[in-house]
Amino acid sequence: MEIVKQMLLLLLCFPCHGMGTTAGSGKDKSSGTFDVKDFGAKANGMSDDSKAFLAAWDAACKSSGKVKILVPSGTYLLNPVKFSGPCRDVQTLEFMLQGTLKATTDLNKFGNGEGWVQFGRVDGLTVTGGGTFDGQGAVTWPYNKCRKEKNCKVLPTSVKFVNTNNTIVKDITSLNSKFFHMALLGCHNFKGSGITITAPATSPNTDGIHLEGNSGVTIASSKIRTGDDCVSIGHGNSFVTISGITCGPGRGISVGSLGRYKDEEDVQNIVVKDSKLIGTMNGVRVKTWANSPVKTSAINMTFENLVMRNVGNPIVIDQTYCPYDKCDNSVWSKVKLTDVHFRNIKGTTTSPVAVTLKCSKGMPCEKLSLHDVNLQHAGPGNTSSTCLNVKAEYSGTNNPPPCE
């Protein structure tokens, strides 16, 4: 009977366990929701709320089960912050951004190439809520020299995901980044959708979403209006699908640039499909540097079901890529392009040269094909193709006509 009494007492007291408050939060830790305001965030757009955000993250990361960090409506000024894991006992972590985060404009707060908001080494992260990451880039764009200088000081990327697994990003906005809006580095199984990215066409190096060293990435149903590539797929990526993107202004959707650094890895299994490019400088483009330090490969890339409207250069392969006034092109690109396919691409171009296929002299493109490409010149006259070091395969109806 005494044992039964003890068991009843334990059952009655069980709900009390874990019901203590988190230090400084004033909230019940077992609720699973950590409101940044309960950790001291002012949300007035002037006070530095960085410590409050980091404290909320720390408490959530040390919690367990399904956890939510809540950022209510309001404007929060943040210095650079790193939200780092691993969060060992957390099953899923939702960063619910309902307000606006504003980046400091003091570049002294950042190191060279450092990001503003970084999520790292986390499993099961979701970033959502309809809120905005405002990089306040207009103040710092005049300091960007990267379009003119190869070894420039890199300005901060707005939002970085570094070595995360099973990440979802949906229904958020990135506004006026200082450099890239969003960067995915070493991530596995990343799903992005409903992302809105906005910066002026004149803003330098404001790539929408940049990928490097990832596997299993899907970016879908998003609108990207910026000053550089809407999506740039760098080295080391595999199994990437980009779909349902409305891109423009900007410089299009690119694989590359590739072949610049010694530690680069291969690219494979890339799909860009079901998207619109409107008023962009380029459409879809593969770009590699000449004089590559190491041999790499880019294999199995498909660009299909795309609509171009007044695009400068709709289809481009450029293995002599050089964004500066002068580059060393004395040695051919060592990036091997194989199985590259352009299918069902239509629309209008502002350039009479609608298709440019310039492959490496030392490693010519192989298994490159075009099927049902129909690109009309927006001005007078017809469109044409330019080819170098490639024998492309054509099928269906193609305009411009194949290279001779």
Q: Over the chain, what is the mean pLDDT? A: 92
Taking 90 as the threshold, does the pLDDT of residue 166 lie above it?
yes
Direct distance between the N- and C-terminal alpha carbons of the chain, in angstroms, rounded to an integer: 96
pLDDT score of 151 = 81
Q: Kindly state the average pLDDT of the residues 172-195.
A: 98
**Which pLDDT tens digit goes with each residue over 64-117?**
999 999 999 999 999 999 999 999 999 999 999 999 999 999 999 998 778 999
Alpha carbon of 24 to those of 21, 37, 40, 47, 293: distances in Å? 8, 10, 8, 18, 53
Q: Kindly state the average pLDDT of the residues 287-296.
A: 96
pLDDT score of 291 = 93
260: left (phi over 0), alpha (psi -120 to 50) or beta: alpha
pLDDT score of 340 = 98
Regarding predicted confidence, which is higher, 51 or 379? Answer: 51
Q: What are phi and psi of 403, to 5 degrees?
A: -65, 145
Taking 80 as the threshold, does the pLDDT of residue 277 lie above it?
yes
pLDDT above 90 coverage of the chain, percent: 86
User: Which amino acid is present at 76?
Assistant: Y
pLDDT score of 29 = 44
pLDDT score of 153 = 87
Q: Report d(CA 140, CA 163) in Å as an integer.
A: 28
Taking 60 as the threshold, does the pLDDT of residue 388 lie above it?
yes
pLDDT score of 163 = 98
Q: Kindly state the average pLDDT of the residues 44-62.
A: 98
**Which pLDDT tens digit goes with each residue over 200-218?**
999 999 999 999 999 999 9
Taking 80 as the threshold, does the pLDDT of residue 298 lie above it?
yes
Q: Report d(CA 20, CA 8) in Å as an integer.
A: 22
pLDDT above 70 coverage of the chain, percent: 92
Q: Is residue 289 within 8 Å of 251, Cβ to Cβ?
A: no
Q: Is residue 314 within 8 Å of 283, Cβ to Cβ?
A: yes
Q: Report d(CA 160, CA 144) in Å as an integer.
A: 19
Rounded to the nearest 5 percent, the helix, strand and coil shares of the chain are 10, 50, 40
Closest residue by Cα to residue 31 from 69, 58, 57:
69
Regarding predicted confidence, which is higher, 371 or 19? Answer: 371
pLDDT score of 19 = 33
Closest residue by Cα to residue 193 from 126, 278, 256:
126
Q: Is residue 98 within 8 Å of 66, Cβ to Cβ?
A: no
Taking 90 as the threshold, does the pLDDT of residue 349 lie above it?
yes
pLDDT score of 152 = 87
**Which pLDDT tens digit goes with each residue over 230-243?**
999 999 999 999 99
Question: If pLDDT is split at 50, 70 and 90, which confidence band does 356 have?
Answer: very high
Closest residue by Cα to residue 98 from 139, 61, 69, 120:
69
pLDDT score of 357 = 98
Q: Kindly state the average pLDDT of the residues 347-365.
A: 97
Taking 60 as the threshold, does the pLDDT of residue 197 lie above it?
yes
Q: Report d(CA 229, CA 224) in Å as an integer.
A: 9
Q: What are phi and psi of 8, to 5 degrees?
A: -65, -40
Q: What are phi and psi of 396, to 5 degrees?
A: 70, -155
Sheet strands (E) in 11-72: 33-35, 44-48, 65-71
- Give the lowest-confidence range in 4-8, 164-168, 215-219, 387-391: 4-8
> Rounded to the nearest 5 degrees, what angle is found at the Cα of 314, between the Cα atoms of 369 and 384?
75
177: its two tokens? 């980044």
Question: If pLDDT is split at 50, 70 and 90, which confidence band does 325 have?
Answer: confident
**Which pLDDT tens digit goes with each residue over 106-149?**
999 998 778 999 999 999 999 999 999 999 999 999 999 888 88
Question: If pLDDT is split at 50, 70 and 90, which confidence band does 30 have?
Answer: very low
Q: Report d(CA 297, CA 279) in Å as an integer.
A: 31
Question: If pLDDT is split at 50, 70 and 90, which confidence band does 324 have?
Answer: confident
Question: If pLDDT is split at 50, 70 and 90, which confidence band does 43 have?
Answer: very high
**Which pLDDT tens digit goes with each residue over 6-17?**
433 333 333 333
Q: Kindly state the average pLDDT of the residues 269-285.
A: 98
Taking 60 as the threshold, does the pLDDT of residue 351 lie above it?
yes
pLDDT score of 111 = 83
Q: Is residue 293 within 8 Å of 261, Cβ to Cβ?
A: yes
